[in-house]
Structure 1
Amino acid sequence: MKHLLILISAIVLFTACSKKQYFEPEDTSSFNQDSKSISSSIKSFNRDGATLDNGQFISSRGVSNIKLPEGFEFLNLNEGKVISTNIKDKIFVADKEIVTNTAVVAASMKDDILALVNSDNSIMAYDLRDGKILFKEYLTKSLANDNRIAAPFFMSNLILFPTLDGKILVVSAQNYKVVRNIIVDADNKFNNIIYLTVVNNTLIAASSKKIISVGDGVLNIKEYDLRDIISHGTDIYLATIDGQIIKTDISLNIMNRKKYKFAKFYALAFGSSIYALESQGYIVNISEDFKTDKIYDYSFDEEDKVIVFDDTIYIHDEYIKLK
């Protein structure tokens, strides 16, 4: 009986594994854009950059020669100043250490005003000039988060704080009062804000399950299981868990879409058109009008850490600049 149970279990496991399906395109081409090595492999990453094993970091400006303080990881780069954290109770801004007493998970800065999102889902504005806390608000604690946590966004005389429980708190940068609370996603466990930007005075924000746009007093909400989201000009591009690449306008109206059966996309990038990195070792390139596409063989380990800035994909210890 014991041997029979083991045999049945093995058959069930084999059957389950054999049903797992992968993206297997019939027509592929060799990828002819050369990759280049970077100084070290990616240790950790967030929405705004990555920390390398050797203490250097990657930002939107590329790989920096600056080394972070020992034990610290990259958060952001604003106005030429590096913001890093020890993921415990301190941050460094340039060469200034600030004790926060809690772990900072996202940060940005403008004119010596530091905007922070903390691991306990509190948000804070801090004046670097006199070391004073200008604003602090505690929100509902979030026990599980997507690591692509969006950083606060400075917009004219407002600070947009993305929270770990699916909201955007709009705070006045003049009197530091909350002027609006925008709910993006209140329905899921992993509902922290993973994307936040402003395009043509329209706010675009997303969790891993929902995306919103707010402009001219109009709120648009769409539900997608998102793998990645980027903007280029006034176009928004989405990669979904079910293998879709979708192009929308800033009001989230669908302009074009393509679906790739069983594709598992890691990240989106934009060269002269949209590119999508796929987990089984492919790069999908779709023309800007979505009428044609090409699928390239591009071998990499799906366990490798990946981060993208515009037309450049960083994978593990190398990068490719897309055409």
Structure 2
Amino acid sequence: MGGCFPCFGSSNNKETGGGGGGGAVGAVKELNRKDSAKDGSIAQSHHVNRVSSDKSKSRNGSDPKKEPAIPKEPTAHIAAQTFTFRELAAATKNFRPECLLGEGGFGRVYKGRLESTGQVVAVKQLDRNGLQGNREFLVEVLMLSLLHHSNLVNLIGYCADGDQRLLVYEFMPLGSLEDHLHDLPPDKEPLDWNTRMKIAAGAAKGLEYLHDKANPPVIYRDLKSSNILLDEGFHPKLSDFGLAKLGPVGDKTHVSTRVMGTYGYCAPEYAMTGQLTLKSDVYSFGVVFLELITGRKAIDNTRPPGEHNLVAW
């Protein structure tokens, strides 16, 4: 298989405990460092578009509750499989329109079937001129290779042939939470309350894993209803980790970074200062929870003045 990144170690060993390579951790840290060195300001954006827009307890000590989701052992390796562009073109019938699941500022997502295994997958083909650049692509591959939880989408592999950038995920048959909350067709029943609370609890468990079990902690930075995908039985999984960052460690309370996220979900203190904390994700979760309770969009410009922003309303 082709398309490996130079910074990835090659290994046939699978990490079963959410582990990854020390080199991979270093790569994530380097990408985060470069991101933090850039200044940015928040601007309004809609739906899938990104805006370019504390833990008070020390994390130095050993904590038996912590899982080594991002261990620092240099002998561990990335587990993501590599695919050639030809393989993924065959899986999606040359990216035919009937295989298209959705599209946005990042590119398009197709349903496909891997010829080698017969597995049904979702193939995310990044727009070379889109909002998700090479840095975000690298972060997503690294993060999802290192993090494993039942409420995080499973990354099967990736393709980096030439200038093509594609990600291969497990297929989530029920689409996104957004699909079941907003702009429903007349014949589609709204989610019942038990299902809504089940989705909220599952998304919270995914965040808990990122914040409290991953080591070092991970700030998701893009929690929204369109990024919560639903498996059979409405089992929720967080997806799209292109904006994720390693969180503060030791006695640090935040990481400083350019402001990125989605308008309507982004925590105001982060938008104003660029200081990112674990609580920034909690704010975004609160917005999603409001969506679940009210059935309203985070940002809806079709509503009367003063009601556009769900939180402000």
TM-score between both structures, scaled by the size of structure 1: 0.25
With a CA cutoff of 8 Å and minimum separation of 6, indicate the structure with the bigger relative contact order.
Answer: 2
TM-score between both structures, scaled by the size of structure 2: 0.26
Structure number, greater radius of gyration: 1
Whichever structure has more strand as a proportion of its residues is: 1
